[in-house]
Structures are given as C-alpha cells and as structure tokens.
C-alpha cells in the first residue's frame, strides 16, 4: 500500500444521524438515541425503521456500529449488531464509559425487532496509564470507540488521550455471545475486559473527536472532526486516519476538508469492496481506495511526494547529480553540434544530436504538462487526492493547492528549457554572419536551470528533513507511552 488514491462521488441521501452498518444490501443508519433507519442500498429507498431494545435504560450514541460474526440462533438472518454508548451519559453519575452493547435482530417482512443480549465493558477506564489521561478528569471524550476485525476475531477499542495527545488502541479477543455474567431476569449478560485481557496496544495521532470507524482490507479506518462553519478559522476539520492495527502502526492521516468535505463525518462502512461514507446531514458518498505498486519513484518526482522517511545523503547526491549531468550533457551536445556546423545552413537536417535533445526535452515538457493538468483538475473538483505511505501532509487545502501550483511552475520551466536550443542555438546559425562563439548562448539557459534545480533540491530537502525530524521525535514520544506488544 505504498501509493493510494482516494476517489469519491455522491451516492444517496439518508436520514441525519450517527454511524451505521451494512449487511446483505441493507444499510442500518442510527441516530444518537437508538432509533434506526433501514435502507435498501441498491434501490436507495427506505425499507423500515425501529428503536433498539431497552434504549431508555441503555441509550447508545452509536458512535461506532458494526455487525459481528456470530448469531444467537443458527437460523437468524443477521449476526449480532454492536453499538457503543459513548457520551450519552456524560452528565450522569455513571457515565458508562467504554461500554459496547450487542443486539439480536430479527425480521418479519419489513418489520424489524431487537433484543439487548450482552454488554461489553472496559474495566480500566479510570486507569490514567491506560484509558484516561488527565488527573482532573478533563479528557474531552474518554468514552471509547470499538470495531471488530472479523478475520482475526479481535475487538479493537480506541480512546482519545488528551494529555499526550494521542489516540490509544487496544486489542482484545472478541467475547462470545455466551460469555459474561447475567445481570437481570431478562438474561442480559455483561463481559468486563480487564488489563489482563489486553493482547496488544499502541498509540497513534490524536483524533480530533472520534466519529465512525470500520475495518477495510485489514486496516482500521477511523473518521473524526466536525463541521467547518468558519473557513477562516478551521479547528477540527473532517479527517480520516488509516491504521494497520495488526502491525501497530499508522498508515495515513488524511484531511478530508482539503478534498471538499466540510460537514461532520459520522458513518463509514465497507461493502463489496466499496467504502460508504455519510455525514451528519445524511449525504452518502462512495469512497474508493486504489493501490498502486511501484518499485521506486522516478527522479523527477518532487520531495513532497516522497514517503515520510529520511533522504540519505547518498540519495541526495544522486538526485543532484542526475539533474546536473542531464542538463549539462545535453547542453554540451548542442554546443558540439553547433561547432561541427559553423555555417549550419542545413543544421537541423544534418545534425541528429540537437534533434534528439529537443525531442527528449519536449517529451519531458509534455509529461509535466500532463501532470499539471491532473493537478489542476484535482484543485478544481477536489475529488481525488494522492496519499502516500505513512502520515500525509495535507493539513489545509491551501497547502495542497500550493503544491499543485509548484507543479505548474516546474512544467513551465521544463517547457522553456525544451525550446531554448531553438532560440539560442538553431536560429543564430541560420544566419550567414553567425559567429562560432554563439554556441555559448546555448549553455546559458541550461546552466541557469541546473542552478535552480540544485537550489530547489537543497531547499526542499532541508524543509522535508526538518518535518521528518519533528515527526520522528513525536513518534518516539508515542512509543515511550505505549508500544505494540
């Protein structure tokens, strides 16, 4: 997953609400008090609606919703549905932090009914070294999200820790529906996950208000942030974090606002290879993550496109050497051709060296022009963004556009370089009174361009390495707080 492109398009409109889940072509969209709307995903129509069992006693906020893998009865149509309490009891004496509810869903025609069968609780929510982080209890959202990796049968719980700041991820074995102590005469069971049940833990970037989450292709995809009401004061824009929870590392941190999303994200769920994403207003999008595999980046790629790793001195010298040799050698070839044909009335017809030079540079210019067109299209419709290995530096849309504009200048510079031999070498030699020293004019633009390339390389690399240094220091701090076991 070294190179990944994120594309999206509008799909349908549904009710306002929180997270949801998809099963057998049905989209279950929940609000913050246990009310659910069921949609036919293919027909894009509302099928039914219902309220979760005992929602007055255990009111789920449904910040994360997912289907499990096990059923209460083998003939059940749906496996257990899980949704978390989250912050619905933030003002109560018992805030029910770190609580997940499991429901059995039955269906008769278009009528759905549910039964609360199990509660899963985190048993160390007061532990300041694990769950909460602030001694005075001022963590903004110490409630916790949950998601299931159905392939490994691991339950992941993750929490915002404001002190570091960081988002901490825990892995547990998924409790069976038969596990737990019975709480009441209705057969409700409760499973408490203790510190001893932690299989692994690690820290990632701090999440600016956790929203929905899902597992896609073995990666935990978590959305976060809120609605951007003032573009001049963007505090917590919609974002997406992609975590490799099996290896305990962060893959990407994507600023969705830079792609045009400005409404609070809520729902995210994969189905048949497509990720469905919905905001709090009910607009549903389809997201596609495309993977590209490349052994290495071509040398003309800019520093900002490289993965977030150090550029070694040897690689830096190779890059500078590439640019230097390329333009000096091609300029020298033009000069050689000019000396070989001092009168050069038929310069272009007889000399193939300048022709090859002009063709190569023209192709390079066309390459940059094509890249420029792609970048400008990305600015205009903001429907595509390229995401690179590790953390993505797309903090604000203006940074993204600045990078595209930089591509435009590089394209124009290359186009200029491609045609300088025509104006500085070829044309003077068409004149009968041209002097032999006129070939030096062909070296001038090439030398200037080499100097520009070297300066930009040092400038970009110095800035990039400074960012890498800061990122590494941050990562080392996070590793000290909690490592993947």
The ranges assigned to domains in the chain are: 3-292, 303-481
Whether the per-residue pLDDT at 248 is higher than 70: the answer is yes
Check residues 174 and 415 and name the one with the higher pLDDT: 174
Helix (H, G, I), strand (E, B) or coil at 169: strand
Using the structure block, give the residue that is written with the tokens 């999440």: 207
d(CA 244, CA 239): 17
Whether the per-residue pLDDT at 206 is higher than 70: the answer is yes
Q: What is the DSSP string of 204-255?
A: ESPPSSEEEEEEETTEEEEEE------TTS-SS--EEEEEETTTTEEEEEEE
Tokens matching residue 82: 């899980």
With 0-12 CB in 10 A as exposed, 13-18 as middle and 19+ as buried, what is 229?
exposed
Helices 353-381, 397-421: inter-axial angle, 10-degree rounding? 160
Among 20-29, 106-115, 286-295, whose mean pLDDT is lowest? 286-295
Note the pLDDT tens digit of each residue in 266-325: 999 999 989 999 999 999 999 987 654 333 333 333 333 333 333 344 454 455 555 555
Pairing outcome for strands 45-51 and 35-40 = antiparallel
Write down the mean pLDDT value for the chain.
75
Q: In sequence order, what are the residues at sequence separation of 6 or more whose Cβ sits closer than 8 angstroms to the Cβ of residue 35?
A: 17, 49, 50, 51, 52, 55
Check residues 101 and 338 and name the one with the higher pLDDT: 101
**Highest-confidence range of 61-70, 311-320, 466-475, by mean pLDDT?**
61-70
Task: Tell me the mean pLDDT in the region 67-83.
Answer: 96
Using the structure block, give the residue that is written with the tokens 């400005």: 262
For 130, other C-beta atoms within 10 Å of its C-beta total: 18
Whether the per-residue pLDDT at 469 is higher than 90: the answer is no
Task: Tell me the mean pLDDT in the region 355-359.
Answer: 58
Percent of the chain with pLDDT over 90: 44
d(CA 159, CA 167): 6
Per-position b or e across 249-284, b if 16+ CB within 10 A of its CB: ebbbbbbbbbbebbbbbbbbbbbeebbbbbbbebbb
Residue 482 confidence class, pLDDT cut points 50, 70, 90: very low
Residue 38 confidence class, pLDDT cut points 50, 70, 90: very high
Kindly report the CA angle at 370 between 367 and 376, in degrees rounded to 5? Answer: 140
Contact 69, 154 (CB under 8 A): no
Helix (H, G, I), strand (E, B) or coil at 185: coil
| pLDDT at residue 485 in the model | 37
Task: Tell me the mean pLDDT in the region 368-374.
Answer: 53
With 0-12 CB in 10 A as exposed, 13-18 as middle and 19+ as buried, what is 52?
buried
| pLDDT at residue 3 in the model | 33
Task: Tell me the mean pLDDT in the region 239-264.
Answer: 86
Task: Tell me the mean pLDDT in the region 220-246.
Answer: 88
Cα torsion angle, 264, 270, 271, 272, sign: positive
| pLDDT at residue 62 in the model | 97
Q: By C-alpha distance, which of 416, 436, 414 is closest to 425?
A: 436
| pLDDT at residue 111 in the model | 96
Whether the per-residue pLDDT at 402 is higher than 60: the answer is no
Q: Looking at domain 3-292, does it have CATH number 2.120.10?
A: yes
Helix (H, G, I), strand (E, B) or coil at 376: helix
Q: In sequence order, what are the residues at sequence separation of 6 or more whose Cβ sits closer than 8 angstroms to the Cβ of residue 178?
A: 189
Kindly report the CA angle at 201 between 199 and 203, in degrees rounded to 5? Answer: 170
Q: What is the DSSP string of 285-336?
A: EEEEEEEE--SS--TTS-GGGS-SS---HHHHHHHHHHHHHHHHHHHHHHHH
Q: pTM of the full predicted structure? A: 0.65
Q: What is the DSSP string of 387-407?
A: EESSS----SHHHHHHHHHHH
| pLDDT at residue 363 in the model | 61
* DSSP-assigned beta bridge partners for residue 83: 65, 101
Residue 164 confidence class, pLDDT cut points 50, 70, 90: confident
Among 128-137, 161-170, 175-184, 455-464, whose mean pLDDT is lowest? 455-464
Residue 137 confidence class, pLDDT cut points 50, 70, 90: confident
* DSSP-assigned beta bridge partners for residue 220: 215, 243
Check residues 182 and 8 and name the one with the higher pLDDT: 182
């Amino acid at each position: 997953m070294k190179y990944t492109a994120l594309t999206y398009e509008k799909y349908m409109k549904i009710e306002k609400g929180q997270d949801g889940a998809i099963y057998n072509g049905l989209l279950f969209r929940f609000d913050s008090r246990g009310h659910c709307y069921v949609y036919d995903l293919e027909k894009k129509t509302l099928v039914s609606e219902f309220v979760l069992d005992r929602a007055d006693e255990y009111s789920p906020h449904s910040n994360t919703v997912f289907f499990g893998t096990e059923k209460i009865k083998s003939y059940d149509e749906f496996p257990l549905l899980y949704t978390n309490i989250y912050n619905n009891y933030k003002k109560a004496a018992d805030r029910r932090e770190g609580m997940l509810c499991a429901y059995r869903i039955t269906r008769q025609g278009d009528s759905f009914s549910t039964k609360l069968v199990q509660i899963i609780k985190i048993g160390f929510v007061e532990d300041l070294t694990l769950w909460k982080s602030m001694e005075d209890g001022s963590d903004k959202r110490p409630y916790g999200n949950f998601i299931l990796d159905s392939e490994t049968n691991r339950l992941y719980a993750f929490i915002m820790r404001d002190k570091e700041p960081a988002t901490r991820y825990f892995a547990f074995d998924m409790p069976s529906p038969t596990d737990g102590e019975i709480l009441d005469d209705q057969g409700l069971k409760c499973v408490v996950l203790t510190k001893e049940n932690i299989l692994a833990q690690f820290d990632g970037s701090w999440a600016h208000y956790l929203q929905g989450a899902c597992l896609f292709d073995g990666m935990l995809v978590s959305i976060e942030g809120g609605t951007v009401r003032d573009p001049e004061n963007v505090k917590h824009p919609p974002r997406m974090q992609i975590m490799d929870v099996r290896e305990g590392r962060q893959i990407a941190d994507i600023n969705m606002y830079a792609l045009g999303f400005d409404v609070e994200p809520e729902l995210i769920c994969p189905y048949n290879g497509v990720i469905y994403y919905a905001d709090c207003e009910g607009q549903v999008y389809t997201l596609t993550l495309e993977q590209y595999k490349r052994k290495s980046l071509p040398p003309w790629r800019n520093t900002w496109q490289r993965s977030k790793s150090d550029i070694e001195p040897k690689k830096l010298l190779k890059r500078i050497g590439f640019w230097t040799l390329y333009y000096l050698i091609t300029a020298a070839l033009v000069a050689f051709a000019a000396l070989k044909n001092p009168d050069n009335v038929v310069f272009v017809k007889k000399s193939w060296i300048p022709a090859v030079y002009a063709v190569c540079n023209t192709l390079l210019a066309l390459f940059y022009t094509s890249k420029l067109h792609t970048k400008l299209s990305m600015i205009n419709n903001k429907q595509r963004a390229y995401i690179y290995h590790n953390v993505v530096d797309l903090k604000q849309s203006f940074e993204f556009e600045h990078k595209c504009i930089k591509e435009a200048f590089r394209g124009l510079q290359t186009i200029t370089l491609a045609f300088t031999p025509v104006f500085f070498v070829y044309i003077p030699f068409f004149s009968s009174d041209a002097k032999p020293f006129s070939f030096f004019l062909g070296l001038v633009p090439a030398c200037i361009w080499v100097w520009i390339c070297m300066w930009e390389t040092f400038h970009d690399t110095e800035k990039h390495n400074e960012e890498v240094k800061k990122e590494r220091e941050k990562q080392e701090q996070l590793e000290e707080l909690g490592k993947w076991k």
